[in-house]
Structure 1
Amino acid sequence: MAVMPRASPGAAQTPEPLKVGSLKFGTVNWLLDTIAGDKVDIREGVRIERLELASNQATTVALQAGAVDLIVSDWLWAMRQRAEGDSLLFWPYSNALGALMVPRDKGFTSLADLKGKRIGVAGSALDKSWLLLRAFSRNKLNADLTEIVEPVYGAPPLLSEQLRLGRLDGVLTFWNFAARLDAAGYQPLIDMIDVMTELGVTPSPPLVGFVWREELLRTKPDQMTAFFRAVSGANQILKNDETAWERLRPAMGIGSDAEFGRLKDYFRAGIPTPWGAAETQAAERLFGILSELGGPELVGPRTRFDPTLFWVPKA
Structure 2
Amino acid sequence: MIPPAGVSRRTLLAAATLSIGLAPLATSALAQVPLPKLRVGTLKFGTLNWLLDTVRAEKLDRREGFALESVDFAGGQATTVALQAGDIDLIVSDWLWAMRRLNDGEAMRFAPFSTALGALMVAPDGPVKTLADLKGRKLGVAGGAVDKSWLLLRAYAKAKLGRDLIDLCEPVYGAPPLVSEQLALGRVDAVLTFWPYAARLDARGFRRMLDMKEVVTGLGIDPAPPLVGYVWRTAIMGEKGATLAAFLRAAAAANKVLATSDDAWTRIRPVMQAADDAEFSRLRDYYRAGIPGSFGEAERASCERLFGVLAQLGGPELVGQNPRFERALFAPIGE
User: Normalised by the size of structure 2, how large is the TM-score?
Assistant: 0.88
Q: Secondary structure at the match of 2:294?
A: coil
Cα deviation, residue 14, structure 1 = 5.5
Structure 1 residue runs without a partner (length 5+): 1-11
Cα deviation, residue 216, structure 1 = 2.2
Q: Partner of 1:88 in structure 2? A: 108
Compare the two structures and name the one with the higher helix fraction: 2
Tell whether 2:77 aligns with 1:57.
Answer: yes
Cα deviation, residue 218, structure 1 = 1.2
Q: Partner of 1:66 in structure 2? A: 86
Take 2:317 and 2:275, find their aligned partners in 1: how far apart are those partners?
Answer: 38
Cα deviation, residue 115, structure 1 = 1.1
Cα deviation, residue 88, structure 1 = 0.4
Tell whether 2:178 aligns with 1:152.
Answer: no
Q: Partner of 2:314 in structure 1? A: 294
Cα deviation, residue 314, structure 1 = 6.2
Q: Secondary structure at the match of 1:51?
A: strand
Q: Partner of 2:29 in structure 1? A: none
* Number of residue pairs the alignment of both structures matches: 304
* Greater relative CO (CA pairs within 8 A, separation 6+): 1
Take 2:240 and 2:85, find their aligned partners in 1: how far apart are those partners?
Answer: 18
Structure 2 residue runs without a partner (length 5+): 1-31
Q: Give the percent of matched residue pairs that are identical in Structure 1 and Structure 2.
A: 56
Alignment root-mean-square deviation, CA: 1.4
Q: Partner of 1:235 in structure 2? A: 255
Q: Secondary structure at the match of 1:220?
A: helix
Cα deviation, residue 135, structure 1 = 0.2
Cα deviation, residue 39, structure 1 = 1.1
Tell whether 2:203 aligns with 1:187.
Answer: no
Distance change in 2, residues 1:161/1:43 (3 Å):
same
Take 1:33 and 1:211, find their aligned partners in 2: how far apart are those partners?
Answer: 19
**Which runs of 4 or more aligned residues in structure 1 lie more than 4 Å from their structure 2 counterparts after TM superposition?**
none
8 A contact 1:13–1:45 mirrored in 2: no
Cα deviation, residue 251, structure 1 = 1.2
Take 2:334 and 2:263, find their aligned partners in 1: how far apart are those partners?
Answer: 32
Aligned counterpart in structure 1 of residue 304 of structure 2, from 284, 287, 295:
284
Cα deviation, residue 225, structure 1 = 1.6
Aligned counterpart in structure 1 of residue 183 of structure 2, from 150, 155, 163:
163
Cα deviation, residue 250, structure 1 = 1.1
User: Normalised by the size of structure 1, how large is the TM-score?
Assistant: 0.94
Tell whether 2:285 aligns with 1:275.
Answer: no
Cα deviation, residue 268, structure 1 = 0.4
Q: Partner of 2:154 in structure 1? A: 134
Aligned counterpart in structure 1 of residue 279 of structure 2, from 259, 263, 269:
259
8 A contact 1:73–1:209 mirrored in 2: yes
Aligned counterpart in structure 2 of residue 32 of structure 1, from 52, 61, 64:
52
Q: Partner of 1:43 in structure 2? A: 63
Take 1:53 and 1:231, find their aligned partners in 2: how far apart are those partners?
Answer: 20
